[in-house]
């Protein structure tokens, strides 16, 4: 069994920033003297630089740069430095597949990495499978664990929507109310919420009264709000895209502080400051967070290290610009996935594309991932059969304009029966 904290002996004395600064002070040639080749490990970064995912793409890029800097300062992977080859997919499925093809055939990448928006993953993964390119996504979609993709697609650095919803449903029904209306984006990621929420709420004795789908490219939302049933006790909202601030502002204007309890996914406010003008109505409401944006009093040393490395302040904004708010609830997945790739390659003795199958098998053998600098979001457990990782979920409440964590779920709270066994599929 291999876990992401196991250190390869071939790194020798180059232990690094995780245990000291020795390696970082060495010249580049000295850090990679044990490599069988001086060629870098090329990781194709499928980045949403433009389109509705641009804010995520910007911060996914910063988290990726920080992780690569740390890994390279410590000797790279098997003594070889990582080189990131970034391509903009426009947050578009067709362009996503084209980018994957460029990684394999034009850039000679060892693996593909980084995709967030689920419709882009679904459009790109089949091509990755055809090209036999390991494709590490940072998406949250349940499309990986559902079995709809292929053995070359893995999600080892971030939990999926179904596990998140199952873990949080008891808090919603026990604390906020049992009659729930949901608002979700009209594409794959939103469908995961649509399909997972009702069974999870019903299992807790509640019911979902209405499911309101909104196009993620929508710029005004008021026309959708009259569809919310009057007897709704909890409004569950998750929106994405450049108009999320408009969405939450119009939501507040519609209810005027007299509406149902609000439970939102932080997606509705990613890259948006919680204290933005017009968001006062969110005081007292709750949010799911993949990682707590606002620094908590008991923040671990691992997270503090990560927060500083990616250049984020205590409020979750860039240390260089307080108006540049991060996508903190998601971007940790890039940092963690890159460390999984590193550990998998070291366990597989990865040398080049001929070892891609061995790399996937090495990752499939992973199980427990302890809370660490490599996994600052928290401990995780990887399911090699479904290619999906499971971890802790965080529920925060807006208290005096600050996102304060009020509940943490156990890893076991996220469990659901396997829907696929990718290990039985041929490479």
* pTM score of the predicted model: 0.90
Indicate the pLDDT class of residue 37, thresholds 50, 70 and 90: low
34 located within any domain: yes
Residues 26, 155, single domain; the answer is yes
- Tokens standing for 15? 């232990």
Residues 68, 148, single domain; the answer is yes
Residues 259, 408, single domain; the answer is yes
Q: Please compute the mean of the pLDDT values over residues 226-231 and round it to a whole number.
A: 96
Residues 13, 92, single domain; the answer is yes
Residues 173, 227, single domain; the answer is yes
Instruction: Say how many C-beta atoms besides its own lie within 10 A of residue 9's C-beta.
Output: 7
230 located within any domain: yes
296 located within any domain: no
pLDDT of 4 strictly over 70 = no
Residues 398, 251, single domain; the answer is yes
Q: Which residue has the higher pLDDT, 375 or 187?
A: 375
Name which of 140, 113, 132 is nearest 47 in CA terms. 113
Residues 152, 260, single domain; the answer is no
CB 129, CB 60: distance < 8 Å: no
Residues 222, 346, single domain; the answer is no
Q: Please compute the mean of the pLDDT values over residues 309-333 and round it to a whole number.
A: 98
Q: What is the pLDDT of residues 44-64, one digit of tens each?
A: 999 999 999 999 999 999 999
Cα distance between residue 362 and residue 194, in whole Å: 34
Residues 17, 143, single domain; the answer is yes
pLDDT of 154 strictly over 60 = yes
pLDDT at 257: 77
Whole-number CA gyration radius for the chain: 21
Cα distance between residue 179 and residue 379, in whole Å: 33
**Domain of 72?**
9-159+329-391
pLDDT of 349 strictly over 60 = yes
pLDDT at 19: 37
Instruction: Say how many C-beta atoms besides its own lie within 10 A of residue 50's C-beta.
Output: 14
pLDDT at 34: 53
Residues 70, 113, single domain; the answer is yes
Residues 146, 169, single domain; the answer is no
Instruction: Say how many C-beta atoms besides its own lie within 10 A of residue 42's C-beta.
Output: 16
Cα distance between residue 233 and residue 307, in whole Å: 36
Percent of the chain at pLDDT above 70? 91
How many independent structural domains does the chain possess? 2
Length in residues, the chain: 427
419 located within any domain: no
């Amino acid at each position: 069994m291999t876990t992401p904290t196991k250190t390869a002996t071939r790194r020798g004395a180059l232990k690094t920033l995780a245990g000291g600064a020795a390696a970082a002070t060495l010249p580049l040639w000295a850090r990679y003297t044990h490599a069988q080749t001086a060629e870098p490990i090329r990781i194709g970064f499928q980045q949403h630089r433009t389109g509705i995912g641009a804010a995520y793409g910007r911060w996914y890029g910063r988290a990726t740069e920080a992780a690569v800097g740390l890994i390279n300062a410590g000797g790279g992977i098997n003594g070889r430095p990582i080189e990131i080859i970034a391509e903009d997919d426009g947050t578009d499925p067709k362009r996503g597949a084209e980018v994957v093809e460029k990684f394999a055939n034009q850039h000679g990448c060892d693996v593909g990495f980084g995709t967030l928006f689920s419709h882009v993953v679904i459009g790109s993964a089949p091509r990755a499978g055809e090209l036999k390119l390991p494709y590490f996504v940072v998406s949250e979609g349940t499309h990986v664990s559902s079995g709809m993709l292929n053995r070359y697609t893995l999600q080892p650095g971030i939990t999926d929507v179904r596990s998140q919803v199952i873990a949080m449903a008891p808090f919603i029904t026990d604390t906020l109310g049992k009659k729930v209306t949901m608002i979700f984006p009209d594409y794959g990621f939103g469908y995961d919420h649509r399909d997972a929420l009702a069974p999870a709420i019903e299992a807790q004795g509640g019911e979902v009264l209405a499911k309101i789908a909104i196009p993620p490219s929508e710029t005004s939302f008021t026309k959708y709000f009259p569809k919310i049933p009057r007897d709704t006790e909890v409004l569950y909202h998750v929106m994405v895209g450049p108009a999320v601030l408009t969405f939450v502002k119009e939501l507040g204007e519609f209810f005027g502080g007299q509406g149902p309890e609000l439970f939102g996914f932080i997606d509705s406010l990613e890259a948006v400051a919680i204290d933005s003008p017009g968001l006062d109505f969110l005081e007292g409401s709750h949010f799911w967070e993949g990682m707590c944006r606002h620094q908590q009093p008991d923040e671990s040393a691992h997270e503090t290290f990560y927060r500083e490395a990616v250049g984020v302040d205590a409020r979750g904004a860039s240390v260089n610009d307080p108006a540049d708010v991060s996508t903190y609830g998601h971007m940790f997945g890039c940092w963690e996935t890159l460390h999984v790739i590193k550990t998998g390659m070291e366990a597989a003795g990865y040398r080049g594309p001929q070892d891609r199958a061995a790399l996937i098998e090495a990752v499939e053998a992973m199980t427990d991932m302890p809370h660490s600098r490599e996994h600052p979001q928290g401990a995780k457990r990887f399911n090699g059969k479904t290619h999906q990782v499971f971890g802790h979920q965080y529920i925060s409440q807006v208290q005096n304009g600050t996102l304060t964590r009020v509940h943490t779920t156990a890893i076991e709270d996220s469990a659901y029966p396997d829907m696929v066994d990718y290990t039985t599929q041929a490479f």
